[in-house]
Chains A and B, each alone.
Chain A
Amino acid sequence: MILFERVSKTFQGNVEAVSDLSMEVAKGETVVLLGTSGSGKTTTMKMVNRLIEPTSGRILVDGADVAEQDPVRLRRNIGYAIQHIGLFPHMTIGENIAVVPNLLGWSRQKTDGRINELLRMVGLEPEEFRDRFPAQLSGGQRQRVGVARALAADPPAVLMDEPFGALDPITREELQNEFIELESEIKKTIFFVTHDVFEAVRMADRIALLDAGRLQQLATPAELVENPANEFVDQFLGQHRFQLSLLTRTIKTVLHDFPQAVTAAGATVPGARLRASNSLIEALDMFKQTRQSTLPVYEREQFLGNLGKEQLLRTITKVLGETEASP
């Protein structure tokens, strides 16, 4: 869907922001560009919709070289969201969402319908919100509008530059979870920039870790955390290794640690079940919420076994030992 072929970008004064980058974002995949400021992650993203032109190399979107396309038309086909400041303050929420549909010349009826649909999708009641102005919304609400606006014309690919960056940690996590859920429904190709390793691990199908313009590792969150490709990646994860492991390890991956798992589904609180794809953190949360000592684990509708709280805690202790032991 988005293909980088040996892309480099050198800014004036010989600052090399991106250096010989080759990678591919598959259709429907969420790839998170992760790195510190100055790592070239935003530059990399902005080269996709030609806000920045590469010095060398090619970028292909859907098989077509972006350099050969009209930038205006290209941009209208790629969603774009940035930190909350990106909403137009003089336009209502509805008008903000309607920007790209209007540029594309949609009929008023179609645009109106789309605004309502999108607002509902991001959890804002259209009757209440569409005629308000950005300044009348909270940070979290504005950010939801930002996401809705990026999706307005139903683009196949969406670029997001730290879209949740300006939010407090609680709202941020709430929006991340909402977005993950939304994303699983709409199945867009998403290119997402962040400096927050936890955000990256939560959102990404794959993470592209950049440093000084070079791609250090492109891997799934679990791979990145368990098998850092080089010393830089290892150091970048650093002291967060343990928490990240709890996020990336799913119940399924540690299920073999429970040979004594009972095979019959025990009677528990209705609805209190774990999914095999849940992370260890989520499992811990579930135990805390339900106050059970064992919970059944399911993969889709198939019962896999019971997981005891004690067993989970023992596994977590083991993970802690492993992550401390690694260099």
Chain B
Amino acid sequence: MSALTSFFEKLGPEMLERTYEHVYLVFLAMIIAIIIALPLGIYLARSRWAKLTSAIMGAAGVVQTVPSLALIAFIVLVFALIALPTIGTLPALVALVLYALLPILRNTYTGIRQVDPSIIEVATGMGMKPHQILFSVELPLSLPVIMAGIRISTVWTIGIGTLCGLIGAGGLGDLIIKGLRSIQMDYLLAGTVPAAALALIFDWILACLEKLLTPEGLKYRAGSEV
């Protein structure tokens, strides 16, 4: 018991501060990623420009295949070349946003694409305008898929966020790196456990949100009785 107390006495304040930094970084990255990926996914799903669509989806897919460590390194190098800050929040944020884009983009795109075309046609045939179809048919019907994308993206970003400690962006990665360099288990744990806990908590919160946002009518299987 006293070991735990001394652990918190020693690392508690720093843990809290790093966790705060981490959440802040992830939150900001997610907001930016959603702002970019959601409208882009909607646009691509509705556009008939097949080449553009496959180019963008392909590019986002390529980013995903680059190891996260390498991606961060690349960004630092590129930032150095164009004389932008190579240390701190900005390069870290760019890396996280790039990583977070794909699951949201892909799920938004496929979510809207999987809406039955005959439903869109009947909506058109009844005299709905394109934006009315988007907001009252396509988005509600693809919301569960879109939310799943945001959820995956958030959990990834929390994990990858620890790497941002390497370039001085703070966060829980700082503690992990400190633990690694000084071979101190308590630092390592002080970084890892909150990161894992954050991932679980956010996953749970977003799962609840997903359930809440799923239209009630989609929760019934076809033909089932009340």
**Interface residue ranges, A against B (CB under 8 Å):** 46, 49, 51, 72-77, 80, 82-83, 85-86, 88-92, 99-100, 103, 132-136, 138, 149, 159
Q: Are A72 and B129 in contact (CB under 8 A)?
A: yes
Q: In chain A, what residue has the closest Cβ to B217?
A: A133
Q: In chain B, what residue has the closest Cβ to A45?
A: B125
Q: Are A49 and B226 in contact (CB under 8 A)?
A: no
Q: What residues of chain A lie closer than 8 Å to B9, measured between beta carbons? A: none
**Interface residue ranges, B against A (CB under 8 Å):** 116, 118-119, 121-129, 132, 137, 140-141, 215-218, 220-226
* Sampled A-B contacts (30; CB under 8 Å): A51-B124, A72-B129, A77-B127, A80-B125, A80-B126, A82-B118, A82-B121, A82-B125, A83-B118, A85-B116, A86-B118, A89-B218, A90-B140, A90-B141, A90-B215, A90-B216, A90-B218, A91-B215, A99-B126, A132-B226, A133-B216, A133-B220, A134-B217, A135-B217, A135-B218, A135-B221, A135-B222, A136-B225, A138-B223, A159-B125
Q: Are B217 and A92 in contact (CB under 8 A)?
A: yes
The docked-state distance in angstroms from the alpha carbon of A72 to that of B131 is 12
Q: What residues of chain A lie closer than 8 Å to B140, measured between beta carbons? A: 90
Q: What residues of chain A lie closer than 8 Å to B118, measured between beta carbons? A: 82-83, 85-86
Q: What residues of chain B lie closer than 8 Å to A91, measured between beta carbons? A: 215, 217
Q: In chain B, what residue has the closest Cβ to A79?
A: B126
Q: Are A72 and B137 in contact (CB under 8 A)?
A: no
Shortest distance between the CB of A90 and any CB in chain B (Å)? 3
Q: What residues of chain A lie closer than 8 Å to B141, measured between beta carbons? A: 89-90
Shortest distance between the CB of A270 and any CB in chain B (Å)? 39
Q: In chain A, what residue has the closest Cβ to B122?
A: A86
The docked-state distance in angstroms from the alpha carbon of A100 to that of B124 is 11
Q: Are B132 and A135 in contact (CB under 8 A)?
A: no
Shortest distance between the CB of A144 and any CB in chain B (Å)? 16
Given contacts A72-B129, A75-B124, A80-B125, contact A90 B116 (CB under 8 A): no
Given contacts A85-B118, A86-B119, A138-B223, contact A75 B125 (CB under 8 A): yes
Q: Are B126 and A103 in contact (CB under 8 A)?
A: yes
Shortest distance between the CB of A22 and any CB in chain B (Å)? 24
Q: Are A76 and B126 in contact (CB under 8 A)?
A: yes
Shortest distance between the CB of A86 and any CB in chain B (Å)? 4
Q: What residues of chain A lie closer than 8 Å to B124, measured between beta carbons? A: 51, 75
Cβ-closest 6 pairs across A and B:
A90-B215, A76-B127, A133-B217, A75-B127, A135-B220, A86-B122
Given contacts A103-B128, A135-B222, contact A80 B217 (CB under 8 A): no
Shortest distance between the CB of A173 and any CB in chain B (Å)? 21
Q: Are A90 and B126 in contact (CB under 8 A)?
A: no
Q: In chain A, what residue has the closest Cβ to B132?
A: A103
Q: In chain A, what residue has the closest Cβ to B116?
A: A85
Q: What residues of chain B lie closer than 8 Å to A86, measured between beta carbons? A: 118-119, 122
Given contacts A88-B137, A92-B217, contact A135 B125 (CB under 8 A): no
Q: Are A89 and B132 in contact (CB under 8 A)?
A: no
Q: Are A51 and B127 in contact (CB under 8 A)?
A: no
- Beyond the given pairs A90-B215, A136-B225, 16 more chain A to chain B contacts, judged by CB atoms under 8 angstroms and listed by A's residue number, are A49-B125, A72-B129, A75-B127, A76-B127, A80-B125, A80-B126, A83-B118, A86-B119, A89-B119, A99-B128, A103-B132, A133-B217, A134-B217, A135-B217, A135-B220, A136-B224
Q: Are B217 and A100 in contact (CB under 8 A)?
A: no
The docked-state distance in angstroms from the alpha carbon of A92 to that of B217 is 7
The docked-state distance in angstroms from the alpha carbon of A80 to that of B125 is 6
Given contacts A85-B118, A86-B119, A103-B132, contact A136 B220 (CB under 8 A): yes
Shortest distance between the CB of B117 and any CB in chain A (Å)? 10
Q: In chain B, what residue has the closest Cβ to A96?
A: B217
Determine which of B121, B127, B220 lies in contact with A103 in the assembled complex, contact meaning CB atoms within 8 Å. B127
Q: What residues of chain A lie closer than 8 Å to B216, measured between beta carbons? A: 90, 133
Shortest distance between the CB of B142 and any CB in chain A (Å)? 10
Q: What residues of chain B lie closer than 8 Å to A85, measured between beta carbons? A: 116, 118-119
The docked-state distance in angstroms from the alpha carbon of A136 to that of B219 is 10
Q: What residues of chain A lie closer than 8 Å to B222, measured between beta carbons? A: 135
Shortest distance between the CB of A52 and any CB in chain B (Å)? 10
Q: What residues of chain A lie closer than 8 Å to B116, measured between beta carbons? A: 85
Q: What residues of chain B lie closer than 8 Å to A99, measured between beta carbons? A: 123, 126, 128
Q: What residues of chain B lie closer than 8 Å to A77, measured between beta carbons? A: 127
